[in-house]
Amino acid sequence: MVLNTVAAIGRVALGACRATGALALFAVEGVSHIFRPPYYPRRVAAAFAEMGFFSLPVVALTAIFTGMVLALQASTALSRFSAESASASLVVLSVTRELGPVLAGLMVAGRVGAATAAELGTMRVTDQIDALSTLSTVPMKYLVAPRLLAGILALPLLVVVADILGVLGGFIIATLKLGFNGPIYIAATLDHLEVADVTLGLVKAAVFGFIIALMGSYQGYNSRGGAQGVGAATTMAVVSASVLILAFDYVLSELFFVR
């Protein structure tokens, strides 16, 4: 009885180690193919368009509404301490350091992580990945490396847009609804903002982009068992990417902002 329990715990632990190791190997192989020829600029461009350009609407809407609600919450909460004037700083710091990268990451994980897993999963179960190997093409290089590179490049650019639109959303609510003076609000926004706040937010974004592309590719590439397997891979890609984004958000914040 006791032995069974120990065995079960051991099995779970071993399974977790194996999965983590397999993911790490997959990541290393994928990244190594980014640097070794042949290169597939067309594939990178296609993945970049899918991840960056076509994610713009959803990220833009998310950022604007987040900025709006932040301004509203900040001014009503800060008014209890008679500190409404700090609203602008609170909005811009929250958006650039935290909410821009995280919310853009989560939205793109839902959009692109799922699509990547479904596409690669279908290619796997219909032998298209095997077919690539028989046509002098390394599947990891052709399918995975361009997506990883595109993820690292696209997310920071999306987050630049999200930062600007998030602040704009805050500005709109602050001036139109809460009675802030426009130029003063903008001055207050820039007053306490440091370059590091933005750049470290963008570094986070690059990491999140990598995580999204990696989890989508990994789950799709290793999917098994027909339509159901592809469905499971898609779910796992979104869930695991989302959880990893939040976990790495904490780790990176601790590294960057706590001194």
Partner 1 sequence: MNASIPKIRVRGLSKAFGDKVVLDGIDLDVQPGTSMVVIGGSGSGKSVLLKCILGLIEPDSGRIEIDGRDLLGLPTRAQAELRASIGMLFQNGALFDSLPVWENVAFGLLARHRVTRAKARDRAAEVLSQVGLAASVGDLSPAELSGGMQKRVALARAIAAQPDILFFDEPTTGLDPIMGAVIDGLIVDCVKRLGSTAVAITHDMASAQRIGDRAAMLLKGKLVWQGAAAQLMASGNPAVDQFTHGRREGPIQMELRR
* Minimum distance, C-beta of residue 102 to partner 1, in the bound complex (Å): 31
Exposed/middle/buried for residue 88 (C-beta within 10 Å: 0-12, 13-18, 19+): buried
* Minimum distance, C-beta of residue 240 to partner 1, in the bound complex (Å): 25
> Looking at beta carbons only, is 118 or 157 nearer to partner 1?
118
d(CA 124, CA 207): 26
* Minimum distance, C-beta of residue 137 to partner 1, in the bound complex (Å): 5
> Looking at beta carbons only, is 111 or 141 nearer to partner 1?
141
> Looking at beta carbons only, is 145 or 202 nearer to partner 1?
145
* Minimum distance, C-beta of residue 132 to partner 1, in the bound complex (Å): 8
**Residue 230 in contact with residue 118, Cβ under 8 Å?**
yes
> Looking at beta carbons only, is 192 or 224 nearer to partner 1?
224
- Chain-centroid distance of CA 58 in Å reads 13
* Minimum distance, C-beta of residue 127 to partner 1, in the bound complex (Å): 4
Q: How big is the CA angle at 249 (ends 246 and 251), to the nearest 5 degrees? A: 115
Q: Which residues bind partner 1 (CB under 8 A)?
A: 38, 119, 123, 126-128, 130-137
209 sits in which H/E element: helix 195-221
> Looking at beta carbons only, is 37 or 183 nearer to partner 1?
37
Exposed/middle/buried for residue 240 (C-beta within 10 Å: 0-12, 13-18, 19+): buried
135, 137, 139, 143 alpha-carbon torsion, rounded to 10°: -110
